[in-house]
Structures are given as C-alpha cells and as structure tokens.
Amino acid sequence: MPYWKLHYHLVWATKNREPVIDDTAEQIIRRSIASTSRSLKMTLHAVGMVADHVHVAVSIPPSVAVSEAVGRLKGASPHALHNSPEPLSDFGSQAEYGALSISGRGLDELIEYVVNQPARHAANGLHAALERIDERET
C-alpha cells in the first residue's frame, strides 16, 4: 500500500440553500457520510452541519478522485434521507461544492472548525475560504 497524507475540507449546500437540515436529518446525513467514507476507504475526521450546509474533514486515498468522493458523499445523503422512516423527499444538494486541501499541521484546526459549525455560525466566527462552495462567493 502506498504512503499518503491527503487531507481535505469539503463543503456543500442544500438545494437553494434551504434550511432543511434538522436534528433528525443531521443524524441520517452523518451516518450516510460515515458509511460512504468507509466504503471508499477514506478516513473521516469530522462532520459539521448547520441548517443549510455540510462540512466534512476527510483524508481521501490517491485511488479516489476528490470529485468522486464529493459526488458519492453528496449523493448518499439524499438517498438515505429519502429512504428514512420519515422521508424528506424534497432534500437535495446544490451542484457546486468547495474542496480545499489541508496540510497535516492544519488538520487539527480544521477538525475543530468543522465540529463547531453551529457555534461558529452563531458567533459569526467563520473563515470565508472554508465556507465557499462557488467561485462567485466572496
């Protein structure tokens, strides 16, 4: 097996930035992301959410393209929500996403950022670059 250290911060928003991620949806999305990460042999470090978007800190092996990892993570969440005991049939994600590579030294700070999403949003303590999902955003 090759040696690799490829850490990423991934972020994507709900369709139309609708605030549809409640506590129930969050738990289903977390399980979906964990399951998909295992199936792709990725190391999941942290997942954080607010009502309209998802953050993931993950290490992606070189055998998986970043775009494939994001597509699978994003696609598995709506599928899980649509098939849950209380389906959310209108749940979906925007096509765009943000993906930033992170150094090994920055991984702990990223994990803290992702885990504390609700508190950071409430205090407006956000890092603009870590919230972007689109080239047009500033």
Can you list the domains of the chain with their CATH numbers?
A: 7-131 (3.30.70.1290)
Mean residue pLDDT of the chain comes to: 87
Asked if residue 108 has pLDDT above 90, the reply is yes
pLDDT tens digits along 34-81: 999 999 999 999 999 999 999 999 999 999 999 999 999 998 887 777
- For residues 52 and 11, the answer to whether their CB atoms sit within 8 Å is no
pLDDT tens digits along 74-91: 988 877 777 777 766 567
More confident call, 17 vs 60: 60
Percent of the chain with pLDDT over 90: 57
Determine the Cα–Cα distance for residues 43 and 5; give it in Å rounded to an integer: 10
- For residues 55 and 98, the answer to whether their CB atoms sit within 8 Å is no
Asked if residue 97 has pLDDT above 60, the reply is yes
> Per-residue confidence at 122, pLDDT binned at 50, 70, 90?
confident
Q: What is this structure's pTM?
A: 0.87
**Alpha helices (runs of H) in the chain, residue ranges in sequence order:** 23-39, 66-82, 107-115, 117-123, 128-131
